[in-house]
Structure 1
Amino acid sequence: MHPALADHLNPGCVDLVEQLMSCHAENRWAKFFGKCNALSEALNKCLGEEFEERRKKQLVEARARKARVKAIWDETKADDEEHMAFERAQRERARAQQNYS
């Protein structure tokens, strides 16, 4: 059993989908005895290949997104550390001035 078949989701398998649907329509009872099995197996193979292509593409995109987010977080962390160091230095200067007074 394959997932819901849509032309826009499975553009490489459209011809196999049409062939399988016409085979099922033409062979109402023979389809239950394996008449359309070869087309069904070819369609399953085609859908599997398209799934793997989409999965690989999504993996590359996810890694790129993750790298961008990590770079932003690292930049934010560096800015925070600089800000905290600046505030620490100001507090130390203020304490030093109070000690001289």
Structure 2
Amino acid sequence: MHPALADHLNPGCVELVERLNACHADHQWAKFLGKCNALSDALNRCLSAEFEVRRKRQLVEARARQARIDAKWEQMKEDDKEHEAFERRQRERGQQQ
């Protein structure tokens, strides 16, 4: 059984999906005896390859997103340090007067 096969989600496998659907329509009973198994296996390989491509792209995007988040956290830490130093100087000036 295949997941929902949307053309826009699996553009490289559209032809195989159509061929498998046609095979199932043409051989309504023989499909249960393995008539369409070769097409089904080819579709599984195609979907796996598409999944890997999508997974690698998402991994690159996630790492870039995480790098931006980490950079923002570092900037916030630097800002906090500067703010603490400013407050410390203000307290010291107040105590000197």
Same fold (TM over 0.5): yes
Matched, 1:30 2:37: no
Structure 2's unaligned 5+ residue stretches are none
In the comparison of the two structures, how many residue pairs are matched? 97
Tell me the distance in 2 between the aligned counterparts of 1:40 and 1:96. 83
Q: Which residue of 2 aligns with 1:88?
A: 88
Alpha-carbon distance between aligned partners in 1 of 2:44 and 2:89, rounded to the nearest angstrom: 66
1:32-65 residue CA offsets vs partner (Å, 9 max, x unmatched): 0000000000000100010011000000000000
Report which of the two structures shows the higher radius of gyration computed on alpha carbons: 1
The aligned residue for residue 78 of structure 1 is: 78
Number of the residue aligned with 1:54: 54
> Percent same amino acid at aligned positions?
71
Q: Distance in 2 between matches of 1:65 and 1:36?
A: 43
TM-score (norm 1): 0.93
Using structure 2 for the length normalisation, give the TM-score. Answer: 0.97
